[in-house]
Chains A and B, each alone.
Chain A
Amino acid sequence: MTYIQEKVTSTGGLTSHLVQTDKFKTNTLLLQFRAPLEEATVTKRALLSYVLKSATAKSPTSQELQSRLDYLYGATLSSALSKKGEQHIITFVMTIANERFLSNEQELLKQALSLLGELVFDPLIDEHAFDSKTVDKEKRALKARIQSIYDDKMRYASQRLIDEMCENEPFHLHTYGYEKDLDNVTPTDLFEYYMKMINEDAVDLFMIGQIDEEKILPELEHIFPFTKRVEKLGGIQNQDTIIPDQERVIKESQPIEQGKLNLGFRTNVRLGDPLYYASQVFNGLFGAFPHSKLFMNVREKNSLAYYCSSSYESFKGFIIVMSGIEFSNYEKARTIIIEQLSEIQNGAFSEHDMSLTKALLKNSILESLDNPFSIADILYQQVASKVQFTIEEFIDGIENVTTEEIIEVANQTKLDTTYFLQGAVKTN
């Protein structure tokens, strides 16, 4: 049995990925645009993702567009911004009811696809510029979005760690762009950039659900007339190995109740590298699960935190630790976190810990196949990295990881930056 039934086809500049499954009550569509993550374009792209989903020539206001969606049994339309390593991705997402579960409805999927095409190819424009009212409105929305990060202290701390740690790499760039650059983008600039994006970005469409292939596939080239293009994006390889020469510590104060202590480590092991699977298992032992060293020691043994976990950023080769602690426990918590890494470096983990970690990693990838967005993400990760693997290969890869490999990854893991968001500092 294969876990994902994917059918890939190319028409012009579009690569479509069709995943046939009857697990879901709705069909899910994702249209993804990929370009290098660059300072000059990041804010424009962010704004474009807002402007395009806000109006079309046919539905010149958000309200009109929304009522069309409501009429299609509450189809949802949203856009999202993300990065895979140093690639900036705009995703338009639609979900639409599978008409099988509704009385007397037909062809909801085709209507949804057409609407998605309309969004991208028939936007609300005025000569060679986007409609200025729409642009102003969406600038406000994006600005509010950028500002809201400050109010979510966990996200803010994560963002600040990457700002500092990746100062000299494009990866530090915020996917939602920068407030300071937003005011300068004119409706004409935006239109110019839009033309570039439509003609040059790598474009992938994911369709996940119960889909009538014979009916839908031939329609794609009409709905999405992307011209042929040469992909210039390099995937995941050819990144420099960065070994931190000294540990950096950044502290910041705000009038808050709990300290947010985040640590960024570099392993330099990325998706596709021989030690990739070992890095997954290493991260599992270190901090990804409730049996991991961070949870057991920072939380259970020392009662220092409610959450303390690590995650593996596999496009960059980072391990990022997050925790929330009492301000006064900074030194203690940081020391214990770093000690847990040494423990793994010294091989202080059992066969049993390892098999448990492997079982949970395997479980989590299999479980993710019950969610349409996770399916798309697993497939898109491969598109963006240019590293192919099947679910079966992933499971085997995890299974075959040895103790030595884990220690190798641990030894390669170096602390780069510590970021601590603390309370108001009292001066005495």
Chain B
Amino acid sequence: MKKHYFSQLDETIFFHTLDNGLKVYMLPKQSNKTFATFTTQYGSIDNTFKPLNQEKVVTVPDGIAHFLEHKMFEKPDGTDVFHDFGEQGASANAFTSFNRTAYLFSSTSNVDKNLNTLIDFVQTPAWTDESVEKEKGIIGQEIRMYDDNPDWRLFFGLIENMYHHHPIKIDIAGTVESISHITKDLLLDCYHTFYHPSNMILFVTGPIDPEHIIHLIEENQKKKDYSNKKAIEHVFPDEPRQVAKSESILHMAVQTPKCLIGFKEPKPYRSGKELMKHEIAVNLLLELMFGRGTEQYKTLIDEGLIDESFSFEYTEEYGFGFSAIGGNTEQPKQLKQRLKEMVINFKNGTIDTKSFDNARRKRMGSILRSLNSLDYIANQFTRYKFNQMDLFELIPELEKLTTDDLKQTLHEHFSEEGFTSCTILKK
């Protein structure tokens, strides 16, 4: 077992890779609860691949990774694992994103038992034809719930505009139609291909003793045979740099229209320090352009184009990346026009060092704040690791960044060909 001390944050990470390839990270903390996540690098975008021990590449129904997440909770005796966690005083949950599926629990007692339960249930597929059918009704209602959520629809509308072929444009939960094609065996194919320990990270944080935890995990894994390790063969379509659609409009039962603009990242193939630096740069640029302390924000408020729901974010993972800026607005057309102009003006101007320093300080505070949460640390640490980065190096990396670093990113990311917008109007 190795360990790494991050002196500025006063945190020590312990880590070890097991013989079967499972990577385990542990962060001792003086908290009441212990929080653990067991995450596979598999999400909604992994829809075309060669299933383990099969010859042909297949494309599986939209929403299957998320469906699989739901079915994992079923046990061989037909009961669900929530009960086991409950008995052991733990609350459990899971989520599926574009490229990760995470299972998690938090508890203030029975940590050893809960950890074994977490590993065991994720390593025991137990669904039946009947239970798969039953789940379709439940997930159907989850899809309907999102159908009525205007912010979600807006965000996905923006992504759909950006991408021609990349499966990021598929809604994570799929559609009522697409999930109707999911079967017990298709779920097993996905499971065996993507849930090998070598494709997974286990993260444990809380008042733990790393030696003890790693021993427990090793004992657990020893009992299971994972010798069938094979490299995963994915297929991703070629994706042009240009957006697929430069705008779209949806109609929903809302009182206030919404508008989101965004830029498609032209080169989303970074990892490690390069990715970290790029993400920090785009985030700082967004802060400098539209942060609450900027002239631009004041103008947008004064002109009545935005309200406090206005926000911006940047997402990048291997193969896709985009910024998204906007919120509720009484005048979506004007807002879109104004935002676009402001980006162009910003590109033609210079970045002053005082604003840059302020934006950087703000980012530091916000990183520290998010590190208050064990849930955040576990989820994000795993996400950073899957991209060969270290969450705890964010602040030092931020301190190193200069205005010159921003300039290149500014002209590369915020391009005309990458621009699109999505609007929601009252039905």
Contacts and interface: CB of A to CB of B under 8 A. Distances in A.
Given A70-B293, A144-B308, A367-B108, A63 B145 contact: no
Between B92, B145, B359, the greatest number of chain A beta carbons within 10 A of the residue's beta carbon is seen for: B145
Contact of B138 (A71, A141, A306): A306
Interface string B259-300: 000000000000000000000000000000001111101100
B141 A73 contact: no
Interface in B346-391: 358-359, 361-366, 368-369, 371-374
B256 interface: yes
Contacts of B135: 303
A58 B85 CA distance: 54
A147 B426 CA distance: 13
Interface string B299-314: 0011010011100000
A164 B326 CA distance: 34
* Count class of interface residues, chain A: 35 or more
A393 interface: no
B9 interface: yes
B220 to A, nearest CB: 23
A248 interface: no
B423 to A, nearest CB: 14
B109 interface: yes
Interface in A226-276: 254-258
A262 B21 CA distance: 47
A324 B143 CA distance: 11
Interface string A53-92: 0000000011100110111111110000000000000000
Contacts of A24: 372
A11 to B, nearest CB: 28
Contacts of A61: 298
B33 A306 contact: no
A363 B142 contact: no
A71 B145 contact: no
A369 B292 CA distance: 31
A63 B89 contact: no
A144 B369 contact: no
Interface string A351-363: 0100111011011
A306 B86 contact: no
Nearest to B90: A363
B107 A363 contact: yes
A70 B107 contact: no
Contacts of B82: 289-291
Interface stretch (A96-104, A180-188, A309-317, A410-418): A96-104
B343 to A, nearest CB: 19
A48 B288 CA distance: 29
Contact of A66 (B33, B107, B293): B293
Nearest to A370: B31
A279 interface: no
Contact of A148 (B31, B309, B358, B362): B309
B362 A70 contact: yes
* Count class of interface residues, chain B: 35 or more
B83 A291 contact: yes
B32 interface: yes
A127 to B, nearest CB: 24
A427 B424 CA distance: 28
B249 interface: no
Given A67-B293, A359-B86, A360-B86, A324 B144 contact: yes
B308 A326 contact: no
A67 B358 contact: yes
A258 B33 contact: no
Contacts of A367: 32-33, 91, 106, 108
B139 interface: yes
Contact of A254 (B83, B253, B301, B328): B253
A97 B141 CA distance: 41
Contact of A63 (B29, B139, B294, B365): B294
Interface in B385-427: 395, 427
A160 interface: no
A122 interface: no
B230 interface: no
A63 B300 CA distance: 12
B86 A356 contact: yes
Interface of A: 3, 22-26, 61-63, 66-67, 69-76, 95-98, 100-103, 137, 140-141, 144-145, 147-148, 150-153, 254-258, 289-291, 299-300, 303-307, 324-326, 352, 355-357, 359-360, 362-364, 366-367, 369-372
19 contacts: A23-B31, A62-B292, A70-B358, A75-B365, A96-B365, A97-B368, A101-B8, A140-B304, A141-B307, A144-B309, A151-B328, A153-B148, A258-B148, A305-B141, A326-B141, A356-B87, A363-B106, A370-B31, A370-B33
Would you list the 6 A-B pairs with minimal beta carbon distance, nearest first? A74-B365, A303-B137, A74-B362, A144-B307, A258-B144, A359-B89
